Amino acid sequence: MAKSHDFQRVALIASDTERAQAAYADMQSAHDWAPLAEADAVVVLGGDGFMLQTLHAMLDSGRVIPAYGLNLGTVGFLMNRYRAGSDIAKRLSRAREIAIAPLCMDALTQDKQHHRFYAINEVSLLRETRQTAKIEVTVDEKVRIAELVCDGVLVSTPAGSTAYNLSANGPILPLDSQLLALTPISAFRPRRWRGAILPDRSTIKLTVREPHKRPVSVVADQKEVRDIAEVSLAIARECELSLLFDPGHALDERIVAEQFVV
């Protein structure tokens, strides 16, 4: 039986889209909302992009609280269905809590600058010019592919496996699988390599070869660093996040259902 939640102080935030702002105005009187800085949970009105923005803001601040999304965007994979006039307190009390751990990305640029970002969905390396990228792939300190010639390569969490990873023909990963997807983007050589499924305890290093001729950028969710030399990736278990879902609409069920869409 699912655990009942008793959130005492809940905040309400919304993206700046017209639909989200209209819902925000409608919901103002539906609950005694708390300021975000004092809340023990937050209701997020918008789409997946705004939810990711909200979760990243929590990671940056170091204060993480459960997030319950109501979809007023497009896909809404990380969100629940918005129903005007529904009892938000009741929905929150019955919600199922799903823990997700982001990827930690450490990137070194060609001019020796270090950058660290977190990715809830995926980290993707992408060629910057018409020249294909050449990338060395190392897993747990062992070189697995000395030279991957491609448009790029990405590493996805289960939560992000139905996003860019799926568009690149990567595998869908159940949320509790404790796996990562390593997926090439338009691989030219080795032509038949379709990627790998790795334990999420793995450490991955992606090293750019011929970087001056074939420059590569890296994107961690929505944050980009250009002209990279190498990227190291590992799951950041100390930065675990919590998403709340209505019964029967949890993210792990959506991941399973997505595999039967034809």
- Percentages of the chain per state (helix, strand, coil), in multiples of 5: 20, 40, 40
Query: Which pLDDT value is given to residue 112?
Result: 96
User: What's the pLDDT score for residue 92?
Assistant: 94
Do residue 208 and residue 186 come from a single domain? yes
The reply to whether 1 falls in a domain is no
Shared domain check, 16 and 63: yes
Q: Is 118 annotated as a binding residue?
A: no
How does pLDDT run across 172-187, given as a tens digit for each residue?
Answer: 888 778 999 999 999 9
Shared-domain flag, residues 223 and 107:
yes
Within this chain, do residues 111 and 147 fall inside the same structural domain, yes or no? Answer: yes
Show Cβ contacts of residue 205 under 8 Å, excluding neighbours closer than 6 positions. 137, 138, 139, 141, 230, 231, 232, 233
Residue 42 domain flag: yes
Mind listing the pLDDT tens digit for each residue in 30-64?
889 999 999 999 999 999 999 999 999 999 999 99
Domain shared by 117 and 221, yes or no: yes
Q: By percentage, how much of the chain surpasses pLDDT 90?
A: 79
pLDDT of residue 262: 60
What does the pLDDT average to over 57-79? 91
171 and 220 co-located in one domain: yes
| 5 within domain boundaries | no
CATH at 166: 2.60.200.30
Is 2 contained in some domain? no
Flag whether 48 is marked binding. yes
Q: Which residue has the higher pLDDT, 41 or 162?
A: 41
Q: Is 164 annotated as a binding residue?
A: yes
Evaluated on CA atoms 143, 164, 103, 106, the torsion sign reads: positive
Mean pLDDT (the chain, rounded): 92
Residues 117 and 219 grouped into a single domain: yes
pLDDT in tens, 203-251: 999 999 999 999 999 999 989 999 999 999 999 999 999 999 998 776 6
25 within some domain: yes
Q: Is the pLDDT confidence value at 3 over 80?
A: no
Q: Is 165 annotated as a binding residue?
A: yes
Q: How confident is the model at residue 6 (pLDDT cuts 50, 70, 90)?
A: confident
**Number of domains into which the chain is organized:** 2
Question: Is residue 220 domain-shared with residue 244, that is, in the same domain?
Answer: no
CATH of the domain at 54: 3.40.50.10330
Establish if 220 belongs to a structural domain.
Answer: yes
Report yes or no on 166 lying in a domain.
yes
What is the rounded CA–CA span in Å between residue 83 and residue 86?
A: 6
User: pTM to 2 decimals?
Assistant: 0.85
Least Cα distance to 60 among 116, 134, 126, 130 occurs for 116
Asked whether residue 205 is domain-assigned, the answer is: yes
The answer to whether 166 is annotated as binding is: yes
What's the rounded Cα separation, in Å, for the pair 112 and 115? 10
Under a CB-based contact definition with an 8 Å cutoff, are residues 84 and 159 in contact?
no
> Mean pLDDT across the stretch 9-34?
95
The Cα 233–Cα 248 span in angstroms is: 33
Question: Are 135 and 96 members of one domain?
Answer: no
Domain that holds residue 35: 10-101+240-258
What's the pLDDT score for residue 1?
Answer: 43
Which pLDDT does position 186 carry in this prediction? 94
Average pLDDT for 195-200? 96
Catalytic residues: 48
Are residue 21 and residue 70 in the same domain, yes or no? yes
Residues 111 and 137 in one domain: yes
The reply to whether 181 sits in an annotated binding site is no
Per-residue model confidence (pLDDT) at position 132: 96
Query: Do 34 and 18 share a structural domain?
Result: yes
**Long-range pairs for 197-200 at CB < 8 Å and ≥24 separation?**
197/171, 197/173, 198/139, 200/101, 200/157, 200/235
Q: 55 burial class (0-12, 13-18, 19+ CB within 10 angstroms)?
A: buried
